Structure formats: C-alpha cells, structure tokens
Structure 1
Amino acid sequence: MSTGKHKHSLHLIADIGGTHARFALCTSVDSIEKISVMAVADFPSIELAIAHYLRGLGNPPVRHGVIGIANPILGDHVKMTNFPWEFSIEATRRALGFDRLRVVNDFTILALALPQLAPDKLRAIGGGQAVPGTPLGVLGPGTGLGVSALIPSAKGAWLPLAAEGGHVNFAPSDELELMLWQEAHEEFGHVSMERLVSGSGLQFIYRKLCRRAGVQAQDYAPADISRRAMANSCAHCREALDAFCAILGTAASDLAVTLGARGGIYVGGGIIPKLGDYFAASPFRARFNDKGRFSDYLAAIPVFVIMDDNPALLGAAAYLDTYPDE
C-alpha cells in the first residue's frame, strides 16, 4: 500500500450510483479531466455506458479502470441494489479491452477522497476540532444510504472500510418516527436506515405525513420535496425534510460512536449538499448531539458536508495511489 501521490498511466475512473454515472480520465489525483455525467437509465449495461463515454472521447488509450459503485462487492458478479444492472467484472474487463478493472464500493471510494478534499470544499456543521490520528466516518443519502470510514494505521496510512451501514436497523426516537417505523414495517418488513434516509425514504416520509394529516400527497420527486421545504411553501414537505434530517443525525451519531470517529463525520451523497443553509439550521445537529451520557462526546465531533461536485472521482483517483500494484 502506498500513500504518495504519483503519476501513472491513463486510467478510467467512475462513480456509479442508482441514478447517475460519472466518468473521467486521470493520471493522478491532481489530474482528473474529461468528466461526464450520464443517467444510468439511458444504458442497458455498465459496459455500454463506459464504451459510450470512451467513444465520445475518440477512444483514448485506456487500459485500466477503477469504478466505485453503489453496491457491496463480494466477488466477480455484481448485481446493483438500487438499479437493475448486473455484470461480471472479468467479462466487462475483457469486453472493454482493459488490462485491469477494479470495482469497489462507492462509499469506500468516497472515504479515500476525504484526506484529499480542499478546505473550501467542506462546510462545517458544528462541533469542535478534529482529533488527529482518529477515524473518519462518512455517510450520505442519495438513491440509497452509503456508509464508510477511514481508519488510521500505525504507519500513517489510511485504511478504508467496505461497509454497508445503510442497512442497519432503524430505531425510532420519538412518536413521529415510531409511526414511520410502523408504516415501513407493515410495507417492507425489515426497516433499515436506508428505507427512510434516501431519496425514496424522503418521499415515504412525506406520503405518510400527508396521510396522517388526511390530505392527498402529491407525486413529488425528492428534489421537489426539498425545494418546497426550503421555501416553506408546503408544511408537509418541511415536516418531512425536518424528520429526514433528524433521522440522518441519529445515523451519523451512531456511526461516530461506533467508530470513535473524533476525526470527524463527513456527509456526502446526492441530497444534503444541495440543502444549503437549511441543513445547518435543520434538526440534524441537535439530534447528532442527543446521545444521553455521551452527548458531550458527540458535541465535540466536527461534522462536514462535502461540497465538492465529484468527490468519488477524487477517491477513485486516490485508490490508485493507495493500491498502486493491484
């Protein structure tokens, strides 16, 4: 394992989520270019999406690729949780004519980006100072709920975790959340954090609040709910987004105490960075600190919203420096 930045041959790097795929070329973490964002629904397979991207650039001489994808990677066969792509890593490598193709969980890749992020790409949401040499946690809602961490090693390197913490059990903290748990349990059986803290989770919360109020829920996309909540133009949207952020605060503080992440908790994904000033004033931080006897411990931990447009691509490039010989 290496932690130094160095130039290498031209690589394809990618961040594949349940809604969008981001592609770029790089020769180091300081040289990421030709970024393109595509809708995954526009392509029947990951192979065709990559081929389309490279063809649009005139098929540059790429022989290696690193892909972060919103899915656990348990072997050669990958079947996405939140989108109907499935593929063999080795068969895709051969079809693309690559010498090497690494496919890694997207939040493992995002975790590797954390030490590379510029201070002006981070927005602090309360807390004290980061404690050097302690773990960093990262989570973020989008199509699903991604979770990972960086653990410091004795040699000063960072070790990323391949985790699936979005699927831990959701435990309600108040009467509203108890109602949401009961509704989700009736509909889905197992109620994970991801069921509520994700784009579809925000929609679920909104619909159940409307039903409780005896009004007809509108067919709003997650972005519609957020926009109306921030504009205070829909009381049910605002209540839904407040509940969403409070539950995310619980998830973030659970991650912090589980890891001992006094180096900080980082929030990414496709939803929170778009909430602007609302998020800082939302119930998130109060809920993050609300840990009974450990409230002071949590209050000291800094939380940062990742404001970089393509942090997972930065993490994919950093993967090449961390594992140069794979």
Structure 2
Amino acid sequence: MGHPDNFYSLVADIGGTNTRVALADGRKIVGGTIRRYRNTDFPGLESVLRRYIEDEGGVDPIAACVAVAGPVRDGRATMTNLDWTIDKDTLARATKAETVAILNDLQAQGHALGHLDAANIRTILPGPEGTANAAKLVVGVGTGFNAAPVFDLDQGRIVTPSESGHANLPIRNEMELRLCQFVSTAHGFPAVEDVLSGRGLERAYAFLGQEANDPRECAAKDIMAACDDGSDPRAEDAAALFTRILGTVCGNLSLIQLPFGGVYLVGGVSRAFAPHLTRLGFGDAFRDKGRFAGFMSNFAVHVIEDDYAALTGSAAHLVALGQSN
C-alpha cells in the first residue's frame, strides 16, 4: 500500500502489554491503519515503530506522537509496567518525522475528549451539563491506574500529568484495612493500583478466598466472565469490593479537581466493569462524602468505550500544536 509522504501523522498508544499504532489525518484516525503489537515481541519502541512503518508500506509521517503508560518528564518517558525508556530523539529516529511529541497515556485520553463518537461514551452517573470550559477528569483503570485533569483555557487545552495510581489506597472500614494488609508488598502500604487494576481485581478475589478459608486463584478475565453469567458468587463479591473502592477513589479525585465537566473512566478494566458499576454500588461509594454527599451530584461519570481514544487524543494534540493537517 502507498501513503503520501509528509502528509499523515503517526500516533501510538503504548500500554503495559500491547502497543497500538495508527496514522491520522488531522484528528481523524485513518481507517484500516490501526495495528497492534505485543510488547514482549520487541526490545523497545523504536523496533515497534520501524515494524509499523514497514507494515504500512514505508510510510513517511510528517509528525508523530506517542502516549506512554508511565511518567513523562522533559520529553523522556519511563514505562511503569514495562522496561522501556522513550525519548524524543528515539521517536524522531524511528519515524523520521519532522515534529515529535510524547504524552502520558492519560494526557492523551484527556486530549481525546470532545473528539470521540458519542455512541462510545456510556453514562454511569448523570449530572448537570458543565460549561464549555469546565474542568474534566479522566481516570484510567487497566494494567495500572492513573488520573489526569483536563483544563480548557483561552490558550488551549492543558492536560496535566500525574501518577495517581501510586498514592496510598484509602480505607473506610475494617474489611478494607484487611484487604490493604493482604495486598501489601515489600514497597510498604499498598497503592491505589495494587487493587484498582486487572491484577488488583485478582488480588481482591484471592483476599475473599482467604477471608472464607477457601483460597483459590482466578484470572481477571474469568472473574468478569463469572460476573456476566453469575457462575461464581465470589467473583461477584470481588467485583463489588473493587467497584466500591473505585467509587471512593473517583470521589476523592473529584473533590480535589472539581470536574464539573464530567469524570471519564477509560481503560480495559473500566470498559469491562461498565455494565456492572451501577448495580455493584459505584454511585453510593462515589457520593459517600458525609456532608458533601449532595455536592457530589455535580459530577457526571461516564465510561469511554472507545479502545482507541488515546490514538485520537494523540492526533488532537498534534493538531493543537499546529504540526499536523
């Protein structure tokens, strides 16, 4: 296949397990160009992008932006759950693009807001519609956990990075304290993503087994399958425990950031939980803030069910920089 030189931008979403790469025409992902690569098959991002360029017939992009599941500082990214380090020089060398950018993956999700098909956004908790420049919050639950506020200013959109998944896990009752003690590691008291992630759901399931003196393991995908078909009551209990903690953490983050423009849950685990959040008590836990319980109704909560939103956000970021079509 042939692509015009110096016309499309190249965008990539680098997760803990897979990297997804695509071409974009402005903010629009070019149909048929999304490819997925398993990270374990490659020594680093440069080899992934070179493979993609080869698979796309030697495409020569004008700009490139990658979204990385890890902190980005001074144009250099370190993966949280993958032994890769990524910088702008590497990205420019791999793509030969004239302009390159690196975002935290939650930053990319934030830049996607307003550019996604409404059919891919599921409302969990309705709320009043915010003004055009109201702050928003994206919360990612997948291989790890993170969150990022989104601010639309006169100068443009700003999505500030964070590492919210490594803050201490909140505790509301004795059972949650026992859960924290169960998942504690050599790093000390557990972080949010030690429970609110795919592997965290597995830990919640194992914890309930210990509580019942009937220990057994179950993979996250099997726990969710059992929730769908009702075949394992413990899976339902683990999902409910997970959901209540997710509601508490999202409520805490909402009080910190005041996202009157809405809270947007993203990531594979968020999408898997979307059909179950309401019945498993997400709303009650989200609003359980004492005298501020009523105030919490100011924040609508949605799930973004577009698996490629970070690619769209990366493309939108390049457009905002004025470096793409």
Both proteins in one fold, TM over 0.5: yes
Report matched runs for 1:1-326 at 5 Å: 9-33=7-31, 34-132=33-131, 133-153=133-153, 155=154, 157-185=156-184, 188-218=187-217, 220-324=218-322
Amino acid of the residue matched to residue 190 of structure 2?
A: V
Q: Secondary structure at 2:294's aligned position in 1? A: helix
1:221-256 alpha-carbon deviations (Å, 9 max, x no partner): 211111112322112211111111111111111111
Q: Quote the residue 1:4 is aligned against.
A: none
Q: Quote the residue 1:3 is aligned against.
A: none
Amino acid of the residue matched to residue 178 of structure 1?
A: L
Gapped regions of structure 1 (runs ≥ 5): 1-7
CA distance in 2, matches of 1:120, 1:76: 34
Q: Secondary structure at 1:321's aligned position in 2? A: helix
* 276-285 vs 64-73, greater mean Cα deviation: 276-285
CA distance in 1, matches of 2:269, 2:22: 22
Alpha-carbon offset, residue 55 of structure 1: 0.8
Cα gap change, 1:31/1:94 in structure 2, threshold over 3 Å: closer, same or farther?
closer
Alpha-carbon offset, residue 95 of structure 1: 4.2
CA distance in 2, matches of 1:100, 1:157: 19
CA distance in 1, matches of 2:159, 2:91: 25
1:271-311 alpha-carbon deviations (Å, 9 max, x no partner): 12123422232221110111111111112311111012311
Cα gap change, 1:77/1:158 in structure 2, threshold over 3 Å: closer, same or farther?
closer
Alpha-carbon offset, residue 76 of structure 1: 4.7
Cα gap change, 1:127/1:87 in structure 2, threshold over 3 Å: closer, same or farther?
closer
Alpha-carbon offset, residue 56 of structure 1: 0.9
CA distance in 1, matches of 2:21, 2:191: 30
* 175-184 vs 252-261, greater mean Cα deviation: 175-184
Q: Secondary structure at 1:278's aligned position in 2? A: coil
Q: Give yes or no for contact 2:79–2:85 (8 Å, CA) kept in 1.
A: yes
Q: Secondary structure at 1:139's aligned position in 2? A: strand
Cα gap change, 1:258/1:39 in structure 2, threshold over 3 Å: closer, same or farther?
same
Alpha-carbon offset, residue 197 of structure 1: 0.4
Cα gap change, 1:95/1:303 in structure 2, threshold over 3 Å: closer, same or farther?
closer
Cα gap change, 1:87/1:314 in structure 2, threshold over 3 Å: closer, same or farther?
closer
Cα gap change, 1:62/1:123 in structure 2, threshold over 3 Å: closer, same or farther?
same
Cα gap change, 1:76/1:126 in structure 2, threshold over 3 Å: closer, same or farther?
closer
Amino acid of the residue matched to residue 322 of structure 2?
A: P
1:25-71 alpha-carbon deviations (Å, 9 max, x no partner): 01211343301122212212111111111111111122421000101
Q: Secondary structure at 1:282's aligned position in 2? A: coil
Alpha-carbon offset, residue 77 of structure 1: 4.2
Task: Quote the RMSD (CA, aligned, Å).
Answer: 1.9
Cα gap change, 1:280/1:147 in structure 2, threshold over 3 Å: closer, same or farther?
same
Amino acid of the residue matched to residue 161 of structure 2?
A: A
Please, what TM-score do these two structures have when normalized by structure 1? 0.91
* 228-237 vs 202-211, greater mean Cα deviation: 228-237
Q: Secondary structure at 2:168's aligned position in 1? A: coil
1:55-113 alpha-carbon deviations (Å, 9 max, x no partner): 11111122421000101111354331111222443134224433332111000010011
CA distance in 1, matches of 2:176, 2:168: 13
Q: Secondary structure at 2:92's aligned position in 1? A: helix
Q: Give yes or no for contact 1:146–1:269 (8 Å, CA) kept in 2.
A: no
- Aligned residue pairs: how many? 317
Amino acid of the residue matched to residue 180 of structure 1?
A: L
Q: Give yes or no for contact 1:230–1:238 (8 Å, CA) kept in 2.
A: no
CA distance in 2, matches of 1:122, 1:152: 20
1:139-197 alpha-carbon deviations (Å, 9 max, x no partner): 021010021111132x2732211122122211111222111112233554132111110
CA distance in 1, matches of 2:323, 2:26: 15
Q: Give yes or no for contact 1:289–1:298 (8 Å, CA) kept in 2.
A: yes
CA distance in 2, matches of 1:303, 1:87: 33
* 281-290 vs 187-196, greater mean Cα deviation: 187-196
